[in-house]
Structure 1
Amino acid sequence: MPSTPKAVVAAWVEAFNRKDVDALAALYTEDAVNHQVAEAPVEGREAIRAMFAAGFAAAEMVCIVENCFEDGAWAILEWRDPLGLRGCGFFHVVGGRIAFQRGYWDKLSFLRQHGLPLPPTRESRR
């Protein structure tokens, strides 16, 4: 198991790009929280595993590292994908595992790029 936050994120990127949900889940603490701010927080290793499995089933996702920084127990990842979407993630690493992750990316652009259903607009909900 990698020990530094930056090494954990490097392992995370490798597992993500292999679409290896078991390897991804193993990088999280049992009670980890993954909060992609465009979504509700996901709590617990198994729920995070299921989130990745559903995401890989729905879309072809690839993480291309642009920058990765480490500050104490945190790693900060700036990424892009082959379709031009960009985002960043913050990973709090405790004991060599991710205890908390927060990600920022444009959900509407992601859905459009992958031909996925768009959320209803305010007008369509009336």
Structure 2
Amino acid sequence: MFNAGDAAGVSALYADDAINHQIPLEPVVGRAGIEEFHRETFAAGPLTCTPINLVVDGDWAALEWTDPGGFRGCGFFCVRDGLIVHQRGYWDSAQLRQVHPDVHPD
């Protein structure tokens, strides 16, 4: 869904009151806000996330990822009842501007 730029599909993975906090940015609260965040992000053009490592421990998962341009980061997801309730994403905003100059998340 992410690689297809499907904001509605991505947001359906989250609980209604979920929090998505991409650490360089302010937290986004709620499924509707998370969908809008992804819609705005995808509007700049396609993004591709290639998983490198995934570690799961109980309700938590850690995902290390990269993209074809070398942009990289990691995300931590708390999942309950099959939906993401909290996400924290860590990535370098300077590297994002260098690799994807058309994406302006801040």
Q: TM-score range by the shorter chain?
A: over 0.9
Q: How far apart, CA to CA, are the structure 2 residues paired with 1:104 and 1:38?
A: 7
| TM-score normalized by the length of structure 1 | 0.78
1:36 aligned partner? 22
Q: How far apart, CA to CA, are the structure 2 residues paired with 1:28 and 1:20?
A: 14
How has the CA–CA distance of structure 1 residues 95 and 117 changed in structure 2, closer, same or farther, with 3 Å as cutoff?
closer
**Residue of 40, 43, 48 corresponding to 1:54:** 40
1:26 aligned partner? 12
Mark the runs of 5 or more structure 2 residues left unpaired by the alignment: none
1:70 aligned partner? 56
3-state SS in 2 of match to 1:18: coil
State how many pairs are aligned: 104
How has the CA–CA distance of structure 1 residues 49 and 94 changed in structure 2, closer, same or farther, with 3 Å as cutoff?
same
3-state SS in 1 of match to 2:2: helix
- Structure 1 residue 116, shift from structure 2 partner: 3.6
Contact 2:44/2:103, CA 8 A, preserved across alignment: no
Looking at CA atoms only, which structure, 1 or 2, has the larger radius of gyration? 1
Mark the runs of 5 or more structure 1 residues left unpaired by the alignment: 1-14, 119-126
Between structures 1 and 2, the one with greater strand share: 2
3-state SS in 2 of match to 1:55: helix
> Is residue 2:95 matched to residue 1:109?
yes
- Structure 1 residue 60, shift from structure 2 partner: 2.7
Amino acid at match of 2:75: G
